[in-house]
């Protein structure tokens, strides 16, 4: 792997401008870098797209020696190294994708002081040979990326991460930086403990991603609901669709392909070659929709993912925040869309109770699941609930989520809740939602007859509501903690300690009114299918340029150059940079150099090409 010459040491501001093409630092970036340059440890909690990578990259360039970055994903390493090479930074990675001679060459560069940054996997860095190699090199810092992987309570635990404290033991005087985009209090404490960062300074940026619009809807026909969302707002955009199971991933990807959408599957059941090929296609091409399980996404650097959709309920708010954070890394508007249902909750609870984790771990997982259900059922601002989970308070509505843009209607459900809880109690706390609803509305089913529940005082007391409304009531009582699902009794509902507050009339409860989902007639559905699924596309990122045709031309030029150089398009220029080109219309290299993300190296490589494209409007 060829390398560019090592960058001369300069001040952080000089590097920020000359190499990365940025005019100023964001948030805590400057403080984190200065702290590291002074030889101190740090724990960095910063939202996806907030600029975590720049902290250790710039510090590695300025500080004498090579920065060692521990990263769990090979694809992430390649993406970041490709981008750094375009900036003119001496960067490399070592993982199993390289042959012996390539690894030997990079190790020689490390020992000779030619590298600014070297990415390695946790498995590689823990080998005795590599640890010995590091003692012979000049190391300026250790960066542990995706540091939440160290926590057994986190959503992406990696056993190898727990052993990384050996770096502190073997190299006590080299500053360490642990970075993650998401960590609740338990996970944060685990990172500090497992990586021996008791003396590290914590830098916690706000978790808010104001450019992401959150929309959560009750699942009726998830595929139809999603395709309406996609056609109306994101047709032709890059996006990620998360599903709970591998089987659903395959079916959803095939269905989207049949509709003419460039969709690819990704899950652990695919062979390594297929997974790698699909991920590389997603990164390198425009407008790909990746349908995946949670096996996909951690560390994905693609900045112009315009939407993340969930067709099933995630395992908790922490996982949801991490997954939705992959949208809009470039700071431009993006969407986080989800369809959920009570069935998702039952499946996930069954998965938790059937795993081999100890009781304490299972309790934490259940609490995480309760938190995401609470987010789904809230009548408050979604962003407020999200931020509150991570210990942040929001005083005003965000006006960029569905509950703010279309306030949720609610009704006083105290009496209905008393009826529902009484029904659970009178039937012995041994039955699921479907049977309880039958009892309440007075359906004389075989099951009701077999258990003689038609003789109970609660039989038929809820006949003034539809079965659908009672399902909604039970769902919201579970979300509010007044009922719990007992998987040992096949998903039966049981009262909780909070139930008495409702039953005794000590607490009032309001329920949200579920939006009505119109079901088209068979005649209309056939007519729509005959015409195709394409609908008029709502404005997306192209609306932020005053010349959409030129934007397409610049993207086409970028794609052509990226294929020629075998790098992702965004490693050349981000969409934001292309938009600034169109808005400001630089006429020479000096003016082009002033744009976002245009450093000296990129100006030299691509400046004349893009100036000509701006003048001609063609690629």
* Predicted structure pTM score: 0.77
- Residue 215 Cα to chain centre, angstroms: 15
Question: What is the enclosing helix (H) or strand (E) of 24?
Answer: none
pLDDT of residue 534: 41
Q: What is the mean pLDDT of the chain?
A: 87
Rounded Cα gap, residues 69 and 58, in angstroms: 12
239 falls within a domain: yes
Domain boundary among 405, 433, 453: 405
Whether 279 maps to a domain, the answer reads: yes
User: Within a 13 Å sphere around the CA of 559, how many CA atoms are in the beta-carbon half?
Assistant: 14
pLDDT of residue 107: 96
DSSP code at position 204 = E
Question: pLDDT tens for residues 41-79?
Answer: 999 998 877 889 999 999 999 999 999 999 987 777 888
Residue 518 lies in a domain: no
Q: What is the count of structural domains for the chain?
A: 4
- Looking at 405, 425, 441, which one is the last position of a domain? 405
Query: 537 lies in a domain?
Result: no
* Residue where one domain finishes, among candidates 172, 204, 236: 204
Report the CATH number at residue 108: 3.40.50.300
Closest alpha carbon to 349 in 323, 375, 367, 374: 367
Among candidate residues 544, 533, 558, 519, the one with its CA nearest the CA of residue 259: 533
Does residue 393 belong to any structural domain of this protein? yes
The verdict on residue 315 lying in a domain is yes
User: Are residues 339 and 311 part of one domain?
Assistant: yes
In degrees rounded to 5, what are phi and psi of residue 95?
-155, -175
Whether 611 and 553 share a structural domain: yes
Query: Is there a single domain that holds both residue 200 and residue 218?
Result: no
Residues 319 and 436 in one domain: no
CA distances in angstroms from 576 to 37, 333, 581, listed in the order given? 30, 11, 9
pLDDT of residue 535: 38
Q: Which DSSP letter does residue 27 get?
A: T
375 and 320 Cβ atoms separated by less than 8 Å = yes
Considering the domain architecture, whether residues 24 and 101 belong to the same structural domain is answered as yes
| 219 plus 345 within the same structural domain | yes
- What is the residue range of 586's domain? 545-616
Segments of the chain with pLDDT less than 50: 1-8, 518-542, 619
How far apart CA 59 and CA 131 sit, in angstroms, is 22
Q: Do 382 and 476 reside in the same domain of the chain?
A: no
Q: What is the CATH number of the domain that holds 431?
A: 1.10.10.10
| Whether 334 and 467 share a structural domain | no
With contact defined as beta carbons under 8 Å apart, do 103 and 197 qualify?
Answer: no
Decide: 305 and 327 in contact? Cβ < 8 Å: yes
Residues 433 and 309 in one domain: no
pLDDT in tens, 291-337: 999 878 665 778 899 999 999 999 888 889 989 999 998 889 999 99
Please indicate, yes or no, if residue 49 is contained in any of the structural domains: yes
Instruction: Check whether residue 382 and residue 435 sit in a common domain.
Output: no
Whether residue 426 sits in one domain with residue 387:
no
Q: What does the pLDDT look like over 581-617, one tens digit per residue?
A: 999 999 999 999 999 999 999 999 999 999 999 988 7
End-to-end CA distance of the chain: 30
Q: Where are the alpha helices (DSSP H) in 259-401?
A: 272-284, 317-324, 342-354, 359-377, 382-389
- In a domain, residue 522? The reply is no
- Tell me the CA distances in angstroms from 344 to 245, 266, 340, one per residue in order: 11, 20, 7
CA distances to 178, 308, 417, 475 from 443, in Å: 58, 41, 19, 20
Same-domain status, 419 and 398: no
- State the sign of the Cα–Cα–Cα–Cα dihedral 218, 221, 225, 226: positive
């Amino acid at each position: 792997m060829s390398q560019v010459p090592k960058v001369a040491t300069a001040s952080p501001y000089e590097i920020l401008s000359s190499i990365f093409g940025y005019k100023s630092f964001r948030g805590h970036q400057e403080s984190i870098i200065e702290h590291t340059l002074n030889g101190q440890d740090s724990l960095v909690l910063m939202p996806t797209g907030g600029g975590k990578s720049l902290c250790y990259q710039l510090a590695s360039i300025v500080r004498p020696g090579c920065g060692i970055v521990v990263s769990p994903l090979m694809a992430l390493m390649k993406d970041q190294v490709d981008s750094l090479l375009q900036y003119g930074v001496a960067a490399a990675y070592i993982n199993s994708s390289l042959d012996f001679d390539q690894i030997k060459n990079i190790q020689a560069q490390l020992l000779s002081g030619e590298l600014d940054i070297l990415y390695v996997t946790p498995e590689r860095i823990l080998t005795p040979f590599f640890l010995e190699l590091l003692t012979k090199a000049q190391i300026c810092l250790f960066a542990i990326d995706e540091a939440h992987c160290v926590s057994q309570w986190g959503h992406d635990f990696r056993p190898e991460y727990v052993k990384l404290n050996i770096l502190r033991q073997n190299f006590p005087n080299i500053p360490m930086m642990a970075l993650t985009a998401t960590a609740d209090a338990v996970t944060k404490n685990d990172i500090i403990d497992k990586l021996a960062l008791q003396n590290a300074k914590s830098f916690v940026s706000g978790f808010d991603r104001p450019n992401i619009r959150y929309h959560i809807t009750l699942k009726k026909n998830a595929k139809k609901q999603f395709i309406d969302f996609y056609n109306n707002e994101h047709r032709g955009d890059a996006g990620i669709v998360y599903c709970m199971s591998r089987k659903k991933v395959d079916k959803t990807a095939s269905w989207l392909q049949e509709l003419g959408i460039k969709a690819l599957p990704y899950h652990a059941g695919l062979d390594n070659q297929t997974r790698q090929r699909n991920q590389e296609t997603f990164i390198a091409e425009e407008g790909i929709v990746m349908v995946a399980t949670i096996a996909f996404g951690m560390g994905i650097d693609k900045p112009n993912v315009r939407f993340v959709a969930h067709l099933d309920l995630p395992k908790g708010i922490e996982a949801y925040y991490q997954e939705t954070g992959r949208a809009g890394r470039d700071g431009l508007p993006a969407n986080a869309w989800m369809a959920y249902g009570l069935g998702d909750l039952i499946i996930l609870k069954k998965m938790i109770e059937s795993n081999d984790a100890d009781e304490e771990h299972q309790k934490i997982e259940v609490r995480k699941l309760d938190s995401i259900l609470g987010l789904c059922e809230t009548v408050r601002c979604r962003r407020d609930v999200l931020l509150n989970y991570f210990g942040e308070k929001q005083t005003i509505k965000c006006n960029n989520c569905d509950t703010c843009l279309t306030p949720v209607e609610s009704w006083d459900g105290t009496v209905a809740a008393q009826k529902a809880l009484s029904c659970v109690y009178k039937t012995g706390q041994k039955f699921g939602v479907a049977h309880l609803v039958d009892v309440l509305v007075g359906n004389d089913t075989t099951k009701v007859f077999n258990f003689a529940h038609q003789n109970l005082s609660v039989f038929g007391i809820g006949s003034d509501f539809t079965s659908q409304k009672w399902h909604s009531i039970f769902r919201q009582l579970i979300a509010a903690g007044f009922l719990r699902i007992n998987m040992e009794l096949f998903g039966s509902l049981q009262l909780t300690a909070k139930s008495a507050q409702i039953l005794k009339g000590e607490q009032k409860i309001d329920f949200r009114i579920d939006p009505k989902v119109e079901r088209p007639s068979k005649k209309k559905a056939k007519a729509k299918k005959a015409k195709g699924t394409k609908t008029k596309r709502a404005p997306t990122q192209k609306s932020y340029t005053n010349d959409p045709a030129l934007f397409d031309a610049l993207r086409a030029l970028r794609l052509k150059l990226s294929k020629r150089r075998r790098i992702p398009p965004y490693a050349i220029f981000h969409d934001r940079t292309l938009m600034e080109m169109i808005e400001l219309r630089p006429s020479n290299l000096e003016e082009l150099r002033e744009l976002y993300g245009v450093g000296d190296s990129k100006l030299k490589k691509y400046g004349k090409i893009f100036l000509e494209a701006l003048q001609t409007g063609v690629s």
